[in-house]
């Protein structure tokens, strides 16, 4: 293959789950601009339709990734209508920030159901289709919290670490069929979900200063790493997590020694 076409997705069908807003919306636009035929799936059907209209793509009905049967039906419907499904990206996630001793069962169940069970449902449904057609790329969204944690993030971090292990398991099982499975690990990204943190100047600045780049990411800065993982540029990349975190996980501590 010519290296000039490594990121060209022309002729491929992509389902972007969570594509109605935030990182998912940015990824949807980026994948479409690189030639893919995109179906936007989201819990908010109106938001998905609005994004699909912008890119000249299609939108599915409202999709709750906690519902395994609904996920299977949505992806199978795309494969049936389009002939195959080449790319699946799953971005949704939720967080309940509470100390372990204050966490309730309902809090725990909510976070695990979306982040871990939902990701599993997508991996299973996409894997079943792609192993059958002997090819495809799946990207699940993890986080820096798969590797590092702070108070109040225990359950969220647990689920994001679990996604990495799901990806590794999927890569091991689907690889013989030509299917690649990877995770993307964003750092702090400016999205509607992080707006409460942005509203607190001290909190916002603390997160900005933790990264090597001394700033938050924009949602569109997650497009390039995702494009890499779903494209032929990553044809020999599977079972891994790509951190797009501005150096957050590379830095040990916040103190600069004298003379440095």
Q: What is the CATH number of the domain that holds 114?
A: 3.40.50.720
Cα 103 from Cα 168, distance rounded (Å): 29
In the numeric block, the tokens 């991996």 are attached to 123
Residue 156 appears among annotated catalytic residues: yes
Whether the Cβ atoms of residue 118 and residue 17 lie closer than 8 Å to each other? no
Would residue 127 count as lying in a domain?
yes
Would residue 258 count as lying in a domain?
no
Q: Give the model's pLDDT for residue 237.
A: 98
Would residue 1 count as lying in a domain?
no
Would residue 4 count as lying in a domain?
no
Would residue 56 count as lying in a domain?
yes
Q: How confident is the model at residue 254 (pLDDT cuts 50, 70, 90)?
A: low
- The 10s digit of each residue's pLDDT in 195-224 is 788 888 999 999 999 999 999 999 999 999
Would residue 253 count as lying in a domain?
no
Q: Give the model's pLDDT for residue 256.
A: 66
Give me the mean pLDDT over the 8-30 stretch: 97
Q: Give the model's pLDDT for residue 255.
A: 65
- The 10s digit of each residue's pLDDT in 68-114 is 999 999 999 999 999 999 999 999 999 999 999 999 999 999 999 99
* Structural domain count of the chain: 1
Q: Which domain holds residue 148?
A: 10-244
Residue 114 is given by DSSP the state I
Q: Is the pLDDT of residue 172 over 90?
A: yes
Q: Look at residue 16 and give its three-state secondary structure.
A: strand
Catalytic hit among 103, 156, 177, 236 = 156
């Amino acid at each position: 293959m010519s290296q000039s076409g490594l990121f060209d997705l022309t002729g491929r069908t992509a389902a972007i789950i969570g594509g109605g807003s935030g990182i998912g919306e940015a990824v949807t636009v980026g994948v479409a601009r690189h030639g893919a035929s995109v179906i936007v799936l989201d819990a908010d059907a109106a938001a998905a339709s609005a994004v699909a209209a912008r890119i000249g793509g299609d939108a599915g009905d409202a999709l709750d990734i906690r519902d395994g049967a609904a996920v299977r039906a949505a992806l199978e419907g795309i494969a049936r209508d389009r002939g195959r499904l080449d790319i699946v990206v799953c971005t949704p996630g939720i967080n309940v920030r509470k100390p372990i001793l204050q966490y309730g069962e309902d809090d725990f169940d909510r976070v695990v159901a979306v982040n871990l069970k939902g990701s599993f449902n997508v991996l299973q449904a996409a894997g079943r289709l792609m192993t059958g057609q002997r090819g495809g790329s799946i990207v699940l969204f993890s986080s820096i919290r798969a590797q590092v944690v702070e108070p109040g993030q225990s359950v969220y971090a647990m689920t994001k670490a679990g996604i990495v292990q799901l990806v590794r398991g999927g890569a091991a099982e689907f690889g013989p069929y030509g299917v690649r499975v990877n995770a993307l690990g964003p750092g702090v990204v400016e999205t509607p979900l992080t707006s409460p943190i942005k509203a607190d100047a001290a909190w916002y600045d603390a997160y900005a200063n933790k990264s090597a780049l001394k700033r938050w990411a924009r949602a569109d800065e997650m497009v390039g790493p995702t494009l890499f993982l779903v494209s032929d540029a990553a044809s020999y990349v599977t079972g891994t997590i790509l951190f797009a975190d501005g150096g957050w996980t590379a830095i040990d501590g916040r103190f600069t020694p004298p003379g440095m």
